[in-house]
Amino acid sequence: MEQTMERDEWEAEMKEKESSGAGGKGRFQGEKEKGGGKGEFDHGRQPPFGMGEIRAAIPKHCWVKDPWRSMSYVARDVAAMAALAAGAAYLDSWVVWPLYWLAQGTLFWAIFVLGHDCGHGSFSDSKKLNSVVGHLLHSFILVPYHGWRISHRTHHQNHGHAEKDESWQPLSEKIYNSLDYATWKLRFTFPFPLLAWPIYLWFRSPGKTGSHFNPYSDLFSPSDRADVVTSTLCWTAMALLLARWTCAMGTTAMLKLYWVPYLVFVMWLDCVTYLHHHGHEQKLPWYRGKEWSYLRGALTTIDRDYGWINNIHHDIGTHVIHHLFPQIPHYNLREATAAARPVLGKYYREPEASGPLPLHLFGRLVDSLRRDHFVSDVGDVVYYQTDQRLSGAAAEGKAGGLKTC
């Protein structure tokens, strides 16, 4: 009954906005600020340096890919996963299982990052090695390697573009206003956005069509189709293997050993990728048309400090240099960042220092979901605007009947 009333209020408000032709007043914060307040640095300005200057500042050895070192990280993570599973199964205690789920889910996320490096070619110079290792790692955690690799390439080629980006890109006001109640609720109410990954693989984001499993999806060109078929077959083989293990071991055992860690992995992936592009204390610009460039788009990304997790998930939080130069191996990202910082100057946002565990980032995530909802349909440099129903509900616990975290 409460959910029905809430949905009815949502639909009534949307109809009222359509009939009144409201242009962002009242419910919406319609400010078109330039990202910085009085006296603050404007990150949306054209930077006074180019890609060549940043590249020249990075030591040459940072670009060298060592396949043996890369494989050592794979061996480390796989051995740790096997040891955790064996230990948890042997002890079989409800004191141990929650710790196992958190640790194993984090390692699932770590092997995703290594597969991600294979997709970028930063794992090694061998396309065959990258493809084999990438398929093994990603298929184990139900990721279609080539399907995701290709869409992620689209993200990197269009990062920071308000319409062409592929990862957590902003919704235009028109698309935002067209969302059905369920989609709107799930996208902006914590913790639902942390469960978006499998849905994105099958259906992409609002306003986009296609599937990472369909070789004829508009995500892919005709030359990609054979690769997509290969990855979909590998994904299917893993799904069948999981079904076979479930029959042999039982549903409860598989839930404890695999599916709960998989859920933790999904939450890690959604949280980390979202925070790479959202949740900074200053508004981040998004670009369209001639205002967009590869450099300006990359500089909208954010480095994050994850404390003890930095090493476990292969420094994926060192993200600005990764977006500028995704060919750099993950184990050289910190050195490359330190070398490039004098060139980047104020365009580099210093990450907030973390304790042993990055608990502070959950606050950043929740705050961003409360205030970063859509961007204007017009303009070539745009910033997130806020739907007052969500921000008000978060602050006061009530706003049009909506409940947020």
Residues in the chain with pLDDT < 50?
Answer: 5, 17-33, 393-405
How many Å separate Cα 65 from the centre of its chain? 25
Query: What's the confidence (pLDDT) of residue 242?
Result: 98
Contact between residue 194 and residue 270 where contact means Cβ atoms under 8 Å apart: yes
pTM above 0.85, yes or no: yes
Contact between residue 368 and residue 394 where contact means Cβ atoms under 8 Å apart: no
Listed in sequence order, the residues at least 6 apart from 204 whose beta carbon sits closer than 8 Å to its beta carbon are 210, 211, 219
**Helices 97-120 & 145-157 angle (0-180, nearest 10):** 70
pLDDT per position as a tens digit, 100-124: 999 999 999 999 999 999 999 999 9
Query: What's the confidence (pLDDT) of residue 30?
Result: 39
Query: What's the confidence (pLDDT) of residue 32?
Result: 44
Query: What's the confidence (pLDDT) of residue 29?
Result: 40
- For the chain, domain boundaries: 59-396
Query: What's the confidence (pLDDT) of residue 12?
Result: 58
Query: What's the confidence (pLDDT) of residue 20?
Result: 42
Query: What's the confidence (pLDDT) of residue 283?
Result: 84
Q: What is d(CA 160, CA 294) in angstroms, rounded to the nearest whole number?
A: 8
Q: What is d(CA 157, CA 298) in angstroms, rounded to the nearest whole number?
A: 9
Q: What is d(CA 218, CA 214) in angstroms, rounded to the nearest whole number?
A: 9
Query: What's the confidence (pLDDT) of residue 26?
Result: 35
Query: What's the confidence (pLDDT) of residue 370?
Result: 87
| Torsion angle defined by CA atoms of residues 177, 183, 189 and 190, in that order, rounded to the nearest 10 degrees | -140
Query: What's the confidence (pLDDT) of residue 124?
Result: 98
